[in-house]
Amino acid sequence: MSNTLVGHPLDLRAWIEDTRKLGELTEVSGADWDLEIGAISELNVKKDLPNALLFDDIPGYPKGHRVMTCSTSSPARLSSILRLPIEMTNAGLTQSLRGKPKQWQGLAADYPPVSVATGPVFENVQEKESVDVLAFPSPLWHEKDGGRYIGTGCMVVTKDLDSDWVNVGTYRVMVHDKNHVGLDMIPGKHGAIQYDKYMKAGKPFPVAIVVGCDPLGYLISGIEVPFGMCEYNYIGAILKQPVSVVRGQLTDLPIPSHAEIVLEGWAYPGDERIEGPFGEFHGYYPGKPATAPVVTVEKVYFRNNPIIMGSPPAKPPNDYSYSKAVMRSALLMDALIASGVPDVQAVWAHEIGGARMFNVVSIKQRYAGHARQAGHILSQCGVGAYMSRYSVVVDEDIDPSNMQEVMWAVATRSDPEMDIDITRRGMGSKNDPMSIAYTYKAPFNSKAIIDACRPFDFINEFPEVAEASKQLQETVRAKWKHIL
């Protein structure tokens, strides 16, 4: 099916209408920001094909002040967001995504954002004493969260101190009070690198937080776009037209002209406060609340009837685990091929590992050492290194996205002593639930590479699979379709 969003600018409302036409939008009236929106969204994504949810009539807020969740959780919606032909199945989407991230990355330089004089985002402006972040229905997503989070499916726009590089990253944003929010950027993330430079120079860090946008915005801000590249360029390459931006009146940072809500301000040197805890993508609340930079919000821009784009993490499957699995699998596949691993068949970054901690690649083995090469690169390449824990390599007859088949290969084609390599002091995270048991003084982890391929030196003698041949299966399925 063709994608009717092709040619549209970055606008959440156009995407909502498209989703309504696809029959994948559910409107919910009267759910409370206090835990109800979070719990409804969490239960919704446990369904087989969850709809996107648009919450209105939120108690305590004017009608029209809305929250959207579950935007990226189906193949049809994800292909619509990525401006690909509409795919109804996971296999179809994965197939049409093949090679696309590499193509988009290659084209990104041709699509710098274009500044326009004004846009719907400036329909309403709060400034000075009128700034009130609490005027929007930020949910308390999970019972043990440290506060209400206005930023989950958001885009945090920042600029490098000593170059023109603008970065757009998805980092969670907690409301402290009516004009202060906390920003949690993990060390090493591009926004955190830029922040550190300003702090070392003793200068306020300019920030614009886009709290509602076409979901393509946070989808791309939430993946590993190369260091130094602006996510707006990458998004432009997907749209095949530049992102239209207006300039923040305080910081001059570029903001999508059709954004729903934008918080603009500065993180001042030394202003860090306790932030979190927050239910995380791997399914746990990380250890203890820690300090994080505070943004003093000095201007708020918003459209009439603004929509917060929510994308709450939780025990997988969660709001964005499906899109992460699809996107990271495509990026890992491109990374493996770019690093010279031949005959990569497919890659899958499993939702149960938050699309980071349990990744599988299938290869057609060509030479001794091929499987280990693929496994180690999967575990350590730029897109894959952060928090990777188990990287599994399987033969081409195994579907890496099918956990039953993957674990069958692990159980029957690997010998623990011979086939599990462990690398130490790899790239971990302060948010790793296992870090409680680590003795490292910095966020390292260890990584296992499981070679679950038939041993290459005995590949021709390895026992044959006891399963009906593809041809026999097809014949029998055709003849016995009334019972199969």
**Which residues of this protein are in contact with ligand FMN, per CB under 6 A?**
152-153, 167, 169-172, 184-186, 189-191, 222-225, 311, 320
- Taking the complex as a whole, how short is the minimal distance between the CB of residue 51 and ligand FMN, in angstroms? 19
| H-run or E-run covering 232 | helix 231-239
- Taking the complex as a whole, how short is the minimal distance between the CB of residue 322 and ligand FMN, in angstroms? 11
- Taking the complex as a whole, how short is the minimal distance between the CB of residue 417 and ligand FMN, in angstroms? 35
Which letter does DSSP use for residue 5 in this model?
T
Question: Which residue, 287 or 455, is less far from ligand FMN as judged by CB?
Answer: 287
Q: How many CB atoms lie within 10 A of CB 264?
A: 25
Question: Which residue, 51 or 167, is less far from ligand FMN as judged by CB?
Answer: 167
- In 92-138, the DSSP E strands lie at 114-115, 124-127
Q: How far, rounded to the nearest angstrom, does the alpha carbon of residue 194 sit from its chain's CA centroid?
A: 21
Give the CB-nearest residue to ligand FMN.
222
- Taking the complex as a whole, how short is the minimal distance between the CB of residue 184 and ligand FMN, in angstroms? 4
- Taking the complex as a whole, how short is the minimal distance between the CB of residue 54 and ligand FMN, in angstroms? 18
- Taking the complex as a whole, how short is the minimal distance between the CB of residue 115 and ligand FMN, in angstroms? 21
Question: Which residue, 184 or 298, is less far from ligand FMN as judged by CB?
Answer: 184
Strands lying side by side in the sheet with 344-349: 344-349, 358-363, 390-395, 444-451, 420-427
Question: Which residue, 120 or 322, is less far from ligand FMN as judged by CB?
Answer: 322
Question: Which residue, 172 or 299, is less far from ligand FMN as judged by CB?
Answer: 172
- In 211-349, the DSSP E strands lie at 244-247, 254-256, 261-267, 272-275, 290-302, 307-309, 344-349
Residue that the structure tokens 């030479």 belong to: 367
Question: Which residue, 172 or 376, is less far from ligand FMN as judged by CB?
Answer: 172
CB 294 within 8 A of CB 181: yes
Cβ neighbourhood burial of 220 (10 Å; 0-12, 13-18, 19+): buried
Residue that the structure tokens 């759910």 belong to: 31
- Taking the complex as a whole, how short is the minimal distance between the CB of residue 313 and ligand FMN, in angstroms? 6
Single-letter amino acid, residue 443: P
Question: Which residue, 302 or 322, is less far from ligand FMN as judged by CB?
Answer: 322
Q: How far, rounded to the nearest angstrom, does the alpha carbon of residue 399 sit from its chain's CA centroid?
A: 23
Question: Which residue, 73 or 152, is less far from ligand FMN as judged by CB?
Answer: 152
CA dihedral 234, 161, 429, 219 (to 10 degrees): -20
Q: How many residues does the chain have?
A: 484
Q: Which residues lie across from 114 on neighbouring strands?
A: 244
- Taking the complex as a whole, how short is the minimal distance between the CB of residue 291 and ligand FMN, in angstroms? 14
